[in-house]
Amino acid sequence: MKQKHVVVIGSGFAGLSAATHLATNNFSVTLLEKNASPGGRARKFSSDGFTFDMGPSWYWMPDVFEDYFSHFGKTPADYYELIRLDPSYSVIYGEEDILDIPANLDEFKSLLEQIEPGAAAELDKFLAQAKYKYQVGIHDLVKRPSRSLMEFASLALMKDVIRMDIFQSMSSHVRKFFKSEKIIRLMEFPVLFLGETAENIPALYSLMNYADIALGTWYPKGGMHEIIKAMVTLAEEKGVQIRYNAEVEEIEIERGEAKRVRLISGERIKADIVVAGADYHHVDRHLVNPNYSNYSEEYWNSRVLAPSSLLFYLGVDKKLANLRHHNLFFDEPLGPHADAIYKNPRWPEAPLFYACVPSITDETVAPDGMENLFLLIPLAPDLEDSEETREKYYEMIMDRLEKISGQEIRSHIIFKRSYAHSDFKSDYHAFKGNAYGLANTLKQTALLKPSLKNKKVSNLFYTGQLTVPGPGVPPSLISGYVVATEVIRENS
């Protein structure tokens, strides 16, 4: 039988995962990347001796990475060194009101007990449920392609679905166990990775708390891009041809079948199968003839998007005090910030933000005696992000960062770069400048997500954070596996 040629568009986690799984299963695979380097949102750049991860900075769910590499007889340790962070991260509620979250579970329980007597016993109950959800959710449900209700039709699975608290909000679920607002905010924090507030995220996703508390927060030495480097090495070992600076302008379709992919250079590449790991909306509305689009523009505009972000990459010419590797600034109330993202999208008056200082853990990402500082403000998608606005928010969060950490930072910054909505659009064709894809609300879960298969084109598939299973690095790895499995099944 003639070997089929698959063209994969996009070299993010999902695209690389799909390409490698397909190549291992005897498909000829060409992976096309718009930018000059791999990784999509997980690209990196270096300047003035500093090396910055451009996007993801949290390494959670280590078992998902182990599972990915095990498909090819490898382990993460074959490619990069993992360091478990302790404390896992720091939560700043205000000046001199800071919690360092210990990696050790007993120490964490003691910390909660000091805040709210009885919280340690409640945590045991909470984590027992979260562990069950994690085991069923991550090792079963998220690996289903969600193309038919019959995938979820078994009696055993229906019982699982009931136990998974899908129809209860994360907010109400957490409040069954804890009364302290400080603990509640801490327990609700992980679902922010899923792109909505705890009031609108199903309690199923307390599985994220299990990942956080039980499985730990890790860091690959050299930065998150080390994972991409490992995946590229593995993909090329399996025969994937990766081409950079190869932006796709059109997927050419004839009689309901994708025949070729045309690059902006004019070059045409024949394809038996196309897997689109680029922004789903961009592919669906711009790379495909409208007659073959899966969804209308009205459909896309009705979707609840996860936030965008304003990012600052900063090189500091001294060591910083009173900060951890990961620092969550909850020193302002969540409500007004959440309203500015989800209810009445606008630039917030008092933004929450996150500061990452990887050079505390890893001396390779900054020159000796200096620090690599990454700042992130989650924002509503589709905002205008002028330089003037970026600078306003830079000054706003630097005021708080300097005050709470008790040190002068701005005068020591020798490198600075910002990144926001317009950059997400230009670099990734991100719909409305989103950073994280679609929010994992109940109405955007499983079968209710954009389909991984085009309904009108027999050989066009989609992968990544806008389809199943959803946003985040581990889900994107799984998304690539799921779509590859569907391609293999339909072509075996």
Q: Does residue 101 belong to any structural domain of this protein?
A: no
Same-domain status, 295 and 308: no
Whether this prediction's pTM lies above 0.85 is answered by: yes
Judgement on whether residues 192 and 268 belong to the same structural domain of the protein: no
Domain assignment present for residue 446? The answer is yes
397 and 339 in a single domain? The answer is: yes
Boundaries of domain holding 52: 5-81+222-302+441-490
For residue 65, the domain's CATH number is 3.50.50.60
> Collapsing DSSP states into helix, strand and coil, what is residue 69?
helix
pLDDT tens-digit readout, 208-264: 999 999 999 999 999 999 999 999 999 999 999 999 999 999 999 999 999 999 999
Contacts for 240 with CB less than 8 Å, ≥ 6 apart: 8, 19, 20, 23, 29, 30, 31
Q: Is residue 114 part of a domain?
A: yes
How many beta carbons lie within 10 A of that of residue 205, not counting itself? 27
Residue 221 CB contacts under 8 Å (≥ 6 apart), including other chains: 80, 81, 82, 83, 361, 362, 364
At 353, the amino acid letter reads F
β-pair type (28-32, 241-243): parallel
Do residue 312 and residue 264 come from a single domain?
no
Instruction: Determine the Cα angle at 228 with ends 445 and 87, to 5°.
Output: 75
> 228 and 288 share a domain?
yes
259 three-class SS = strand
Same domain, 334 and 270: no
- Domains of the chain: total: 3
Distance CA 440, CA 204 (A): 10
Cis amide bond preceding 358, omega within 30: no
Q: State how far the Cα of 31 lies from the Cα of 15, in Å rounded to an integer.
A: 8
Residue matched to tokens 């449920």: 129
CA dihedral 156, 158, 159, 163 (to 10 degrees): 130
Averages of pLDDT over each 10 residues, the chain, 492 residues: 93 98 98 98 98 98 98 98 98 95 98 98 97 91 83 61 81 97 95 85 93 98 98 98 98 98 98 98 98 97 95 98 98 93 94 97 98 97 97 98 98 98 98 95 91 98 96 96 98 92
Q: Which helix (H) or strand (E) holds 271?
A: none
pLDDT digits (tens, 9 = 90+) for 80-107: 999 999 999 999 999 999 999 999 999 9
SS3 375: strand
Q: What is the pLDDT of residues 29-51, one digit of tens each?
A: 999 999 999 999 999 999 999 99
- Pair of tokens at residue 2: 């003639």
